[in-house]
Homo-oligomer: A and B are copies of this chain.
């Protein structure tokens, strides 16, 4: 057993998605596309002092179900300490990032000798089971600007990507519950998500992703007043913005939000997926 290991997992903003439930959480998931971010989650795992695992995010002990599930699956009793540049529950894939970072780091510390795909499958399944996300983990494992063509973990899914990089700005006005949205009626949302995906597959560029994401947010009726107003402000200033799925969060390419007079957080697309440090 090693003393500790640290993994970095990029954040992930989903631009649009369609939900694909399955009784097997490693096969369930979503289709869609989004941006992985240089702002992300750093997760350090070490063997626990006592008989119980503890999870700490930015200095505070919390309970994150997918992380518990990952630790149980790896038969690891650990102290998980995460630092995140991103707010939880606001559409940045923080819970997925913690699950995936925990899987990578715990595999190393406890010498479980699992493969990359096995670890991503465990984290993805844990996230789906908890209802906190459907596609963040596989996107965060891939990095870049991933397109999720087929849902599920890496044993069954199919990924492509937009071959581009960009500066990304974002502002977050508050939380939206992914679990609440996903437990409601998702037919309309998934129809809009499939249409958006066709558009991006036909033209895999960042501009087309932003356009498809805005259309999706409108058709799936997810826009809050604040988010709609902010996207409008960026458009008026000549920029490209949309809503992060799912959070009360607006993201923009380049200097979109700054140009519109906001004071955004600034990062960029992350060219790599999750990694041990």
Contact = CB atoms under 8 A, between A and B. Distances in A.
Contact of A116 (B116, B160, B165): B160
Q: Is the interface of A mostly helix, strand, loop or mixed?
A: loop
Interface residues of A, number: 28
Interface in A131-182: 143-144, 147, 154, 160-165
Contacts of A165: 275-276
Q: State the copy count for this chain.
A: 2
B273 A119 contact: no
Interface in A88-133: 104, 107-108, 113-117, 119
A211 to B, nearest CB: 14
A276 B162 CA distance: 11
A204 interface: yes
A205 B143 contact: no
A203 interface: yes
Contacts of A163: 104, 107-108, 114-116, 119, 276
Nearest to A271: B275
Nearest to A270: B272
A154 B203 CA distance: 18
